[in-house]
Amino acid sequence: MVTNLNQSKITMVKHFSEIKMTYRTDKRYKDLPTIREPEEAARLLRRLWDKGTLELREEFMILILNAAKLCTGWCKMSTGGQTATIVDPAGVFRVALQTNAHSIIIAHNHPSNNCTASHADIQLTKRIHEAGRVLGVQLEDHIILCPDGSYVSLRSKGLF
């Protein structure tokens, strides 16, 4: 029950939203990909990405990793236009915390085929890295994929 203090009058709110979460684990860990290098992340992301949208519109994904760097899941966080997509860092960490992530890899694509990280890409990465540090969920990398098969690792470039 939630109480609301209103000019020294207490009212009781009887109805409120309840969030339920279901967690299922698959014991076949041998089938889960281990992500230790940017190349492994890029390879997995290409398998997960809808090939028909890679060159059409920007999308943003998150890979969920456990403490052994096994990818236990993924989530497409947003879909945008030809040059941008909106990413809510709070949403990234809602997913990470609800899935018991030890660490995460974030990724998006550049339909333009220019894999250079933009100023906005770098700033977002720094914000997510700092939020993860505070929450205890490490940002392993930010991968930018291009339709021509190339990719960039922002961690490898020293951009965060």
The 10s digit of each residue's pLDDT in 23-75 is 455 554 456 799 999 999 999 999 999 888 899 999 999 999 999 999 999 99
Residues 75, 87 contacting (CB under 8 angstroms) = no
| Structural domain includes residue 89 | yes
Distances (CA, A) of 98 to 59, 86, 87, 102, 111: 21, 21, 18, 11, 30
Q: What is the mean pLDDT of residues 10-26?
A: 55
- CATH number of the domain bearing residue 137: 3.40.140.10
**In a domain? residue 4:** no
Residue 11 lies in a domain: no
Alpha-carbon distance 46 to 110, whole Å? Answer: 13
Average pLDDT value for the chain: 87
Higher pLDDT pick, 12 / 122: 122
Q: How many residues does the chain have?
A: 160
Domain enclosing residue 110, as ranges: 26-153
Q: For residue 56, is it within any domain?
A: yes
Per DSSP, 14 falls in state: -
Q: Does 13 reside within a domain?
A: no
Reported as a single tens digit per residue, the pLDDT across 61-118 is 999 999 999 999 999 999 999 999 999 999 999 999 999 999 999 999 999 999 999 9
Q: What is the pTM of this model?
A: 0.81
**125 assigned to some structural domain:** yes
**Which residue from 68, 61, 64, 148 is spatially nearest to 106, judged by alpha carbons?**
61
Residue 153 backbone dihedrals phi, psi, to 5 degrees: -105, 115
Domain for residue 6, yes or no? no
- Identify the DSSP state of 70: B
Residue 5 lies in a domain: no
Q: Residue 13 pLDDT > 70, yes or no?
A: no
Domain count, the chain: 1
